[in-house]
Amino acid sequence: MKSLYEIIDSRRDTRHFTNDEVPVEVLEKALQAGHKAPSVGLTDATRYYIIESSDIKKQVKELFTSYHKKSADQTDSESQKKSYLALKLEAIEEAPIGLVIAYDRSVLDQFTIGTVGSNEAVKFSSVCAAQNIWLSLTEQGYSMGWVSIINYHHFKKLLNLPDYIEPLGYFCIGKPATDYGKQPMLQQLNWKQKLEKPFVTTIKNFTPVNHLELENFAVLHSNSSDLKEKLIDKINQKTKPLGSLGILEKLALQMGLVFQSEAPNIINPTIVVFAADHGIANHDVSAYPQEVTRQMVETFLKGGAAISVFCKQNNLDLKIVDAGVNYDFPTNTSIINKKVAKGTQSFLMTSAMSQDELNLCFQYGAEVVNEIYKSGSNCIGFGEMGIGNTSTASVLMSVLTNIPIQDCIGKGTGVMDEKLKNKIEILSQAIATYKGENNLDNLIRYFGGFEILQMSGGMLQAYQNKMLILVDGFISTVAFLIAYQKNSAIKQNAIFSHCSEEKAHIDLLNYLQVEPILSLNMRLGEGSGCAVAFPIIQSALTFINEMATFESAGVSNK
């Protein structure tokens, strides 16, 4: 029997297998080894799915092939692309056994020791299980190959896995046909050399914890001319000089036309906050780390955020949507799970998302709005949360309006001075290196964000449902811009809550030729502007429905 270190040294990520079958006892022993791996809080969250069907393997191979081509397109040069495509990176159909190793997020529905700081520990436990299986198979004369170049959304859909099951990947198991010269395959083929020794650093210097900062960090359709004339007449007959209620009169007329009623009324008003992470945030364009996205979502769910208290103040229903946060939220929270992926790719390097992911964004946004509409709501406000999304919105505004990028960039969450200069340089570089076609879908796929595009899809669906659309600040207005470029009629249903302190917002509002209700130097996001403006919107309904007319009050209008 080999020693432990000999087994570790001979373990290979195998892509070449013989035709030998894998005995049942070999697989059972390996899975038992996986089961003995560390498990945070003894959750036993790791799940195993065995695949022997050639039909299923063929489908998995198709998923790999699709993403393999996408991966090749992201290489740094044509010569590297050629070398990459020459590599054999899977043995899905050749290996006798396919194994899906996954973790069950639903274990987080109950208190779990070791997951309060980060529930990623559940995933890490499953990775430990995968390594144990690998070592067990190696000791028995077999091997395994990890295939991760797949679209995980389609992978889960193919295998009918529940939403709360998260695969680590597809693992090929069989008898190895080679040991690759007793070295990793990629090293044997001169793709890359594995370091002789690991990176090890002894930390001696540290920054003492600021306890106050620690405590506060997480808190951080119709255009009926008949109806229009009746509404205008009703507004003008109120006991007031003509036009003296200013924007309230415009709002009352607009809502009457949206709801197709001379006595318009808002029912079950709802604010929806879409949250997601952004690859561009990894390039130091924000004053806060990406982790804040997750922390703020948790604050929304606990009712402690600005949007939470404003909604409570104004009797607004609040929904939170996970459109693509880089975190697995417990399944027993009230969050609406519409996660496309755990954050976009960095558009400084490649397309933010695939075409399929783009399509999912519009689909999911529409689904969220339809559920709210079915509950009886006729008014929906759109908010967002995502570290780095101001950068994404700035680039989208620039490429969709042809306004220079430097005029579309602001402070976001608080970027100042040198950091702001760096943000401008990075976003300018991203636009300059874009080589795709300048049509709407290509631009939003390459530079978009999951929460921004889900808002766009939701707005389009809200228009179809004849709902009143409340648009928040800069980022929500960029989402509206996208929806508007797909269907310009949507503007008749939209109310723009406020003008953000983000310097580009006023230019974008002017571009759309719309007038915001408020200008309070706000730049928070979250849909906070919608909630703050809501009482004014209600005032417009109150006056048109309850204010006396000259005739009813016996007042002369001459």
Please check whether residue 270 is in contact with residue 469, taking contact to mean a CB–CB distance below 8 angstroms: no
CA-CA distance, 146 to 434, in Å (whole number)? 32
DSSP 40-91: GGG---EEEEEE--HHHHHHHHHHHHHHHHHHHTTSSSHHHHHHHHHS----
3-state SS, residue 207: coil
CA-CA distance, 468 to 462, in Å (whole number)? 7
Enter the tokens of residue 414. Answer: 């608080």
- Whether 526 sits among the annotated catalytic residues: the reply is yes
CA-CA distance, 317 to 231, in Å (whole number)? 29
CA-CA distance, 280 to 353, in Å (whole number)? 12
Residue with tokens 């690991």: 198
In this structure, what are the phi and psi dihedrals at residue 50, rounded to the nearest 5 degrees?
-95, 135
Count Cβ atoms below 10 Å from residue 24 Cβ, excluding itself. Answer: 8
Active-site choice (166, 249, 502, 526): 526
Please check whether residue 384 is in contact with residue 451, taking contact to mean a CB–CB distance below 8 angstroms: yes
CA-CA distance, 140 to 393, in Å (whole number)? 54
Contacts of 284 (CB under 8 A, 6+ apart): 419, 422, 426
Active site residues: 526
